[in-house]
Amino acid sequence: MTRTTAKGRFITLEGGEGAGKTTLSRALAGALAARGRPVLRTREPGGAPGAEAIRGLLLGRGPWDPVAEAMLHFAARREHLARTVLPALESGIWVVCDRFADSTLAYQGAGQGLSRDVWERLCDLALGALRPDLTLVLDLPPERGMGRALSRGDANRYEQAGDAFHARVRAAFLEIAAREPGRCAVLDAGQPAEAVLGSALGLVTERLEG
């Protein structure tokens, strides 16, 4: 998948449960719109009809074999890119996406034991050369994030995984950010939501509008 004519920018938000991705996605999209940017908010797994159907399988059923689970995430992602993300970017719309391929490396890789090699092969197949322009990693101790997430009600399959799983997922996101500092930045998600938005907007200005 390539994006030779795109004028939009692709911003992804990553991090553990309850870190504030949805909250930031909403606020960031609003702030970008106020700056005159056409903007689309979307999420993974999901963001297109077929991908939302796969989301139902991933969150509602299981357990899955880790490779099968990663393939389902990438099938949903491919559908999301083809139907929603790429058409938007190509028409100049900025896309703010709640989770993307880094989540598969963190959850299915560090969390469930999928190898990096398989993840890279799935990226090649499903994404081609496409990568986010900016990835904001919202970092929060898992117990704080889970407290926030569970206060909303029923826990999904991933939220029910144990403390050690969530600690590995957090470490994996920090490692991804350290490995690709040009694409990624880590935000302290323990700050008030307004401060997280301020940091995010500063990074957008510096890296995408400078």
Could you give the CA distance from residue 186 to residue 174 in angstroms, rounded to a whole number?
Answer: 7
How many residues can be counted in the chain? 210
The least distance separating ligand Z5A from the CB of residue 68, rounded to whole angstroms, comes to 13
In the bound state with ligand Z5A, the residue whose beta carbon lies nearer, of 10 and 107, is: 107
Minimum gap (Å) between residue 48 Cβ and ligand Z5A: 13
**Least distance in angstroms from the C-beta of 112 to ligand Z5A:** 8
Shorter beta-carbon distance to ligand Z5A: residue 90 or 159: 159
Min separation Cβ 7 and ligand Z5A, Å: 26
41 sits in which H/E element: strand 39-43
User: Is there a contact between 1 and 123 (Cβ–Cβ < 8 Å)?
Assistant: no
State the residues that interact with ligand Z5A by CB under 6 A. 17-23, 44-45, 73, 99, 103-104, 107-108, 148-149, 156, 158-159, 189, 192-193, 196
Tokens at residue 46, please?
Answer: 């999901």
Nearer Cβ to ligand Z5A, position 44 or 139?
Answer: 44
Q: Which lies closer to ligand Z5A via its Cβ, residue 17 or residue 139?
A: 17
Least distance CB 207 / ligand Z5A (angstroms): 21
Amino acid occupying residue 207? R
Judged by beta carbon, residue 197 or residue 204, the one nearer ligand Z5A is 197
175 backbone φψ class: left, alpha, beta (φ>0; ψ -120 to 50): alpha
Smallest Cα–Cα separation from 6: which of 75, 83, 85?
85
Contacting residues for 160 by C-beta, under 8 A, at least 6 apart = none
Structural tokens at position 122: 């799935």
- Tokens 């889970």: give the residue: 146
Q: Which amino acid, one-letter code, is at 46?
A: G
User: Nearer to ligand Z5A by C-beta: 57 or 91?
Assistant: 57
CB of 100 to ligand Z5A, least distance (A): 7
